[in-house]
Structure 1
Amino acid sequence: MTPTQVAETSTDPRFSIIVPAYGVEAYLRDCLDSVLSQSFEDFEVIAVNDASPDACGEIMDEYAAADRRVVTVQLEQNVGLGQARNVGLTRARGAYLIFLDSDDTLLPGSLRAIARRLDENDDPDLLVFDYSRTYWDGRITPNAKRSVLTQSPRGTFRLDDNPELLGLLQVAWNKAYRRDFIERWGFVYPTGYYEDTPWTYPVLVAAETIAVLDRICVHYRQRRQGSILSSASRKHFDVFDQYDLVMSFLAAHPEFERWRGPLFERMAFHLGVIERMPGRLPAGARAEFRARRLEAERTHRPAGYRDPKTKPKKSGVRRAANRLPNRLRRPARKAYRAAAKLKKPVRTAVLMAYYRAQRMLPVKKDTAVFAAYWNADYACNPAAIDQKLRELAPHVKPTWVLKPDPRNRPPADTATVHPGSFGFWRAMARSKYFVNNVNFPTRVVKRPGQVFVQTHHGTPLKRMGVDQVEFPLGAAQMDMELLMHRVDHWDYSISSNSFTTATWDRAYPSTSYSSLDYGYPRNDVLVNATDADRTAAREKLGLAPDAKVVLYAPTHRDYQSVPQPLLDVEHFADSLGDGFTVLVRAHYFNLGTRHGTTDGIIDVSGHPSVEELYLAADCLLTDYSSLMFDYALLDRPVVIYANDWEVYRATRGTYFDIHVESPGPVVATKEDLIDVFLSGRWSDDTSAKVRTEFRRRFCEYDDGRAAERVVRRVFLDQEDIPPVALPPERPVRPVRG
């Protein structure tokens, strides 16, 4: 049965799944997809946009337009998680309610398993199911108290038969609630932090029939940074009001008085955790919180209550005995480490000592260090920013980090240093600004007053950062902990569209940086290019004025240990005939694999400017390279040769299906590829239509002034930044940063 058929044949679905969202555009699609792809289809999704400042509302509307099971509610003002859930409650029609946080996911088959367990137990008031925590580095850990579920009574029961349920995590999303049970008791969420507390405990106490499902149904995402409850705020004092509500519920229902003692213990434990947890309470607030905690314990302590007896401490002799094996092993480990240190070059030790000494000197205010592509070239966004910096802020003196023999060099008066040299470490120690499209070395220490700008080097189709952990080939050479150490140095992250902003947010999870939604500086030259620029680019390459020029630029394959050509370029060019010229540009990882220049083919792998190649070409032929997002700015045809799509997607991972969101025709065989060009489909009206949609989504901020915005914001510290101004066919979101 299709989703549309479900909506038309069922008036009251089995489940109402309520998904409130605020500031989670990077994860919302994963959440909604995990629900809509369930094998059990009798449900509705009530997606509540809590006035989110990002694209959550647009994403919800997109899903609602594509699937009738999705209902969106767009709130005009932010009301908080609890009130957003209440809004969903008022819209719910399902027999059962399920709450799902918008950065979590429902595992495949979960709804069917939940429905089956409800059927087996004659529709209990409450079903409690299991979950696992998922981490940014790919780790998955089970619920530490899953034994509460595995050892729970079979069938239905009341809380008296399994009081250990009170010890589970106080969350709304590990349960299915019978809607008429919730409505009969009038349960709603309060405002403020810890809003799950006065919901969870009363629900457990009041339920007459409870069942459990010891199956992991939810993946509970552990954000590396950015969790509300792990951030310092006075809002943590809300917890006292929430427990007041719990105790008021017991006072209003004397039949549940027997639960006052256990809930008092849960309260005392919870308040103690918050008080002791580093980073939750603001500086100077801990003593006040402790006083409030003691007051709450005096107020809510049941008459005649005695603290549970503490377990006797373990014998010191036993602890010492347990440590003995480690002590025996320790000398061996120290000897090994000492031997390893002796192997390090003396030069490294001298350089690091020099770097430490340089860090004791003041930071030079008007200095900047630039690098691109692992110090290989003067190119990309850093080069574009450097050029605009010379125009708008000439008092800032740039230094470029470059390996020997780059394809491009900065202006002759620019200071350059070799990676790892004394000059490099001096520049890293003393300069104020750092601009790179990758990362600087891990040994770099960010000093107070230094500013790091991460420009990136393309819009991501392939998985990046921590999103690669599910794809071992892509992440084989990456140490995620070291990567996050570098990411925490960033102050700014540049983005060319809202899709990329959301992707960087999940791929590089850190609260250290702000997103500059300004467009990519390297694309300014494309937006501002004239016919004269195009003519000059073609003349430089020796191209005939009437030649149809195809730029073939494939990307790197992680699954190939040695680069192997996926297209017979000579056969392709010969098949197109004399009217076409093929420019071949190897990926910068694969510069050793070049084609000879023959009739109809020009190898441009060593050409210093990819932007000039864009301007010269009439069509871009690529596979999964980020070049397609930049080239789309020229509104010229793009053809995608995806002959290894399934292998590429399985080994590297992608953020979307290039067949669904494509800038032009997508083909998988060399015969179809040749036919696309010979038939004219490469440049027909259908190709133009999909290209327009592609530009609307992925060329969102590129208006030709991206470099200017970066220089004014970062180097000149100006707040009044020129807004993004695009043609009508490319709508603009508000500029952030």
Structure 2
Amino acid sequence: MPRFSIIVPVFKVQGFLRECLDSVLEQSYPDIEVIAVDDCSPDGCGAILDEYAARDPRMRVLHLPENVGLGRARNAGMPLAGGDYLLFLDSDDTLTPGALRAMADRLEETSDPDVLVFDYARTYWWGGTRRNVLARVLAEAGEGTFSAAGHPEILDLLMVVWNKAYRRAFVEREGFAFPPGYYEDTPWTFPVMLSAERIAALDRICLAYRQRRQGNILSTTSRKHFDIHDQYERVFAFIGSRPELSHWGPYLHRKMGEHCLDILSKEDRLPEADKAEFFRLTAALLRKHGTGPVPAELRLLEGGFTRYRVRRQAARAGRELGRRGQQARRAVAARVKHGWSAAHGHRPLDPHLAVYSAFSHRGALGDPAAVYAAARELAPHLRGVWVVRDEEQAALLPPETEYVLLDSLAYHRVTARATYFVNNVNWPGSLVKRPGSVHIHTHQGTPLKYMAADLLHKPGARHGLDVPQMLRRADRWDYSLVANRHSELVWERAYPCHFTSLRSGSPRNDVLVRARPEEGAAARARLGIPAGNRVVLYAPTRREYVRGGHAERLDLAAFADGLGAGHTLVVRLHPSLADGPARGMGLTELHRRGVVVDATDELRVEDVMLASDALVTDYSALMFDYANLDRPIVLLADDWGAYTASRGAYFDITADAPGHVARSQPELARLFASGAWRDGESERLRAGFRTRFCEFDDGRAAERVVRTLMLGERPVSPAAVVPVPAQAGHDVLAAS
């Protein structure tokens, strides 16, 4: 008996069907059967199904003699199912890699619940991906099981059939089946969820829900939407037959009204001539099943269709007036702030005022934070003020740190008077550089990929970037900090502006250069890493050739398992991916189960590096900083060609690598299994890499910046960590 029976109804999807079937049959979890139901599809779907069934004995095809519709096609497949759990997969959607393994693990963990609810992401025809906006409901459900009464928020999720796995014995015992119609998910999902005694949640994106360019049947203009009334009648009939579920009546009453109002409010759902009839039927259904006062949000359904239209038009007019009023208030506020800045701009600069920002005003981080700390020690007469986006970011600042909120009056006051400006991202274009002010740009590490002006010939990589504006903002720089001659050459080419390069080293790397073995202990304890474990840090970068930037390059669970006992895999995503669907593709769920540690939200990446014993990365600039620790680095470079074609690179990192290079996950696994990741060749490669890219990182970079640029002392050049060959920098020139 297989663990999963996956029922796939098929009708007119020949362009998407192979991708759907491949996503199932290529899963790492093999204990499945696939029941494909050909709903008398008039295209080539039937032949495609037979082709796959001939290749894979786990797949069975049922050809229906006539078209019966999505719900009844699912019904036709259910009697053939022999698995412990039923999954219903629409034939234009796909399972994500590792989805079935994650489901099986969660089912075992929760002792076979009646229903498992998992997450999904919408994927768009133009390549975009957007995670379910209510994913938090799954995260908040807890680690055990629950009922709908115990966690009613679970019913706020999209009421569809395909984001759940159903225990087959439970479905058969309750006699659940799909009715005919176009809203057939409604009378299946509500009865199932209300009847289930044990529900479990899986906070992981297991399914890619395809959003077709032309939309699906439920987003077209048609009288088919009238089907919603019959389907809710079936739901009410179900709870009417189950006295123990009668208390759900008011809830379903409200849900039904909201659902119908949503259809009615869409301009492109119902033919204009049919809207009044739809309104009357909805209002009648509301009265029929009402058991008390009409909820406030449904009072639009009282008083007739004409009154409803008047109320809707009044609401739209109110929103438009509110929008115009908000625009006017913003314009007045902007004029006030501009006048405030202009007034303070006529006052002399404050020679003791320094303003700091990092990573687009996210807090006291990176190089600016290191310079700030050094200034407090070496130049206590300087007043340091941080610019942060909001109070949430301000709460993360160290105690007693002075700050202003971006674009507030206080922000305009301090930026109009400050002498020193320290940032690793350009300041807003509205900030005017006054004569006598000193702008110090720290960058965000050593560049491997093309930056700024070098992106002009990489249209995909510069998508969303205004390079001319970027350069105009860089025109305000007085000093550009560099950690090596490679960076010096790149920045002077990528930013053709009038600044002076300071061979300072990277201030944030001081802590790495001076690191003692025990300094990672605090971070290890905070991350919950067992004492004595060897820690492997995996830090992938974003991809420009993938919409959204995230590419699943590594099976984290398999890699972590391959490392063996006594090892901990720590994952830190690129900051630009932290709020996207990347974590929902498995990282969050693996972190919860203790398979890996997700350190993406750790504020100080330096602490994460100190906590690790080795780094696995692809093309992340983190490797240049990590080399200061003189610990093993392994590159996973399975898509180097695609990466360089889309983004561009200043040199071939696979040829001048900081350690061994793996071209595939199996090769990466072999490097760790054999111990080659830290052999003599690894040490030799790392030494050469450090020679070139840790040249000025001597542990005194922040002090050097403060003494040279803020205190006016004579600059003292850093001593090279290791001798630098005369040909250093040939890579950048060759890239020209």
Compared CA separation, residues 690 and 714, structure 1 to 2 (3 A): same
> Aligned partners of 1:733, 1:366: CA distance in 2, in Å?
42
Q: What's 1:725 paired with?
A: 719
> Aligned partners of 1:353, 1:573: CA distance in 2, in Å?
57
> Aligned partners of 1:493, 1:464: CA distance in 2, in Å?
14
Q: Does 1:414 align with 2:401?
A: yes
Q: Does 1:661 align with 2:656?
A: yes
> Aligned partners of 2:555, 2:538: CA distance in 1, in Å?
11
* Counterpart pick for 2:572 among 585, 597, 601: 585
Q: Does 1:470 align with 2:464?
A: no
Q: Secondary structure of the equivalent of 2:535?
A: strand
Residues 379, 408 of structure 1: 8 Å contact kept: no
Q: Does 1:559 align with 2:553?
A: no
Residues 386, 403 of structure 2: 8 Å contact kept: yes
Residues 620, 637 of structure 1: 8 Å contact kept: yes
Compared CA separation, residues 461 and 728, structure 1 to 2 (3 A): closer
* Deviation of the 1:549 alpha carbon: 0.8
* Counterpart pick for 2:702 among 688, 699, 707: 707
Q: Does 1:430 align with 2:425?
A: no
Deviations 1:98-127 (A, max 9, x none): xxxxxxxxxxxxxxxxxxxxxxxxxxxxxx
> Aligned partners of 1:722, 1:732: CA distance in 2, in Å?
21
* Deviation of the 1:655 alpha carbon: 0.4
Compared CA separation, residues 604 and 633, structure 1 to 2 (3 A): same
Compared CA separation, residues 408 and 545, structure 1 to 2 (3 A): farther
* Deviation of the 1:729 alpha carbon: 5.3
* Deviation of the 1:732 alpha carbon: 10
Q: What's 2:688 paired with?
A: 693
* Deviation of the 1:356 alpha carbon: 1.7
> Aligned partners of 1:413, 1:621: CA distance in 2, in Å?
37
Letter aligned with residue 653 of structure 2: I
Q: What does residue range 619-630 of structure 1 map to in structure 2 within 5 Å?
A: 619-630=614-625
Compared CA separation, residues 522 and 407, structure 1 to 2 (3 A): farther
* Deviation of the 1:714 alpha carbon: 0.8
Of the structure 1 ranges 457-466 and 473-482, higher mean CA displacement relative to structure 2 is found in 473-482
Q: What's 1:400 paired with?
A: 386
Compared CA separation, residues 722 and 537, structure 1 to 2 (3 A): farther
Compared CA separation, residues 663 and 647, structure 1 to 2 (3 A): same
Q: Does 1:538 align with 2:534?
A: no
Deviations 1:499-542 (A, max 9, x none): 0000001000112x110101000000011111221334333333
Compared CA separation, residues 559 and 407, structure 1 to 2 (3 A): farther
> Aligned partners of 2:358, 2:664: CA distance in 1, in Å?
35
Q: What does residue range 468-617 of structure 1 map to in structure 2 within 5 Å?
A: 468-511=455-498, 513-562=499-548, 563-592=550-579, 593-594=582-583, 595-596=587-588, 597=591, 598-617=593-612
Q: What's 1:642 paired with?
A: 637
* Deviation of the 1:401 alpha carbon: 0.7
> Aligned partners of 1:392, 1:372: CA distance in 2, in Å?
21
Residues 627, 694 of structure 2: 8 Å contact kept: yes
Letter aligned with residue 705 of structure 1: R
Q: Gaps spanning 5+ residues in structure 2: where?
A: 1-326, 729-736
Q: What's 1:631 paired with?
A: 626
Deviations 1:42-77 (A, max 9, x none): xxxxxxxxxxxxxxxxxxxxxxxxxxxxxxxxxxxx
Residues 440, 477 of structure 2: 8 Å contact kept: yes
Residues 407, 607 of structure 1: 8 Å contact kept: no
Residues 454, 494 of structure 2: 8 Å contact kept: yes
Q: Secondary structure of the equivalent of 2:712?
A: coil
Q: Does 1:677 align with 2:672?
A: yes
- State the TM-score, normalizing by the size of structure 2: 0.51
* Deviation of the 1:414 alpha carbon: 2.1
> Aligned partners of 1:627, 1:408: CA distance in 2, in Å?
26
Q: Does 1:387 align with 2:364?
A: no
Compared CA separation, residues 672 and 473, structure 1 to 2 (3 A): same
> Aligned partners of 2:363, 2:449: CA distance in 1, in Å?
23
* Deviation of the 1:669 alpha carbon: 1.4
Residues 539, 571 of structure 2: 8 Å contact kept: yes
Residues 407, 608 of structure 1: 8 Å contact kept: no
- State the TM-score, normalizing by the size of structure 1: 0.51
> Aligned partners of 1:727, 1:483: CA distance in 2, in Å?
33
Compared CA separation, residues 346 and 457, structure 1 to 2 (3 A): same
* Deviation of the 1:408 alpha carbon: 8.0
Compared CA separation, residues 728 and 497, structure 1 to 2 (3 A): closer
* Superposition CA RMSD, Å: 2.5
Q: Secondary structure of the equivalent of 1:485?
A: helix
> Aligned partners of 1:732, 1:725: CA distance in 2, in Å?
16
Residues 580, 600 of structure 1: 8 Å contact kept: no
Q: What's 2:357 paired with?
A: 371
Compared CA separation, residues 546 and 395, structure 1 to 2 (3 A): same
* Deviation of the 1:435 alpha carbon: 0.2
* Deviation of the 1:423 alpha carbon: 1.3
* Deviation of the 1:731 alpha carbon: 7.3
Q: What's 1:357 paired with?
A: 343
* Deviation of the 1:446 alpha carbon: 0.6
Compared CA separation, residues 397 and 603, structure 1 to 2 (3 A): same
* Deviation of the 1:378 alpha carbon: 1.3
> Aligned partners of 2:693, 2:722: CA distance in 1, in Å?
15
Query: Percent same amino acid at aligned positions?
Result: 42
> Aligned partners of 1:560, 1:654: CA distance in 2, in Å?
17
* Deviation of the 1:728 alpha carbon: 4.5
* Counterpart pick for 1:456 among 416, 436, 443: 443
Q: What does residue range 89-238 of structure 1 map to in structure 2 within 5 Å?
A: none
Deviations 1:254-296 (A, max 9, x none): xxxxxxxxxxxxxxxxxxxxxxxxxxxxxxxxxxxxxxxxxxx
> Aligned partners of 1:668, 1:406: CA distance in 2, in Å?
39
> Aligned partners of 2:478, 2:599: CA distance in 1, in Å?
36
Q: What does residue range 320-359 of structure 1 map to in structure 2 within 5 Å?
A: 345-359=331-345
Residues 537, 569 of structure 2: 8 Å contact kept: yes
Letter aligned with residue 371 of structure 1: S
Q: Gaps spanning 5+ residues in structure 1: where?
A: 1-340
Of the structure 1 ranges 478-487 and 345-354, higher mean CA displacement relative to structure 2 is found in 345-354
> Aligned partners of 2:443, 2:399: CA distance in 1, in Å?
26
> Aligned partners of 2:571, 2:688: CA distance in 1, in Å?
27
Q: Does 1:441 align with 2:424?
A: no
Residues 377, 408 of structure 1: 8 Å contact kept: no
Letter aligned with residue 499 of structure 1: H
Residues 726, 732 of structure 1: 8 Å contact kept: no
Q: Secondary structure of the equivalent of 1:714?
A: helix
* Deviation of the 1:606 alpha carbon: 1.2
Q: Secondary structure of the equivalent of 1:656?
A: coil
Q: Secondary structure of the equivalent of 1:399?
A: strand
> Aligned partners of 1:701, 1:731: CA distance in 2, in Å?
14
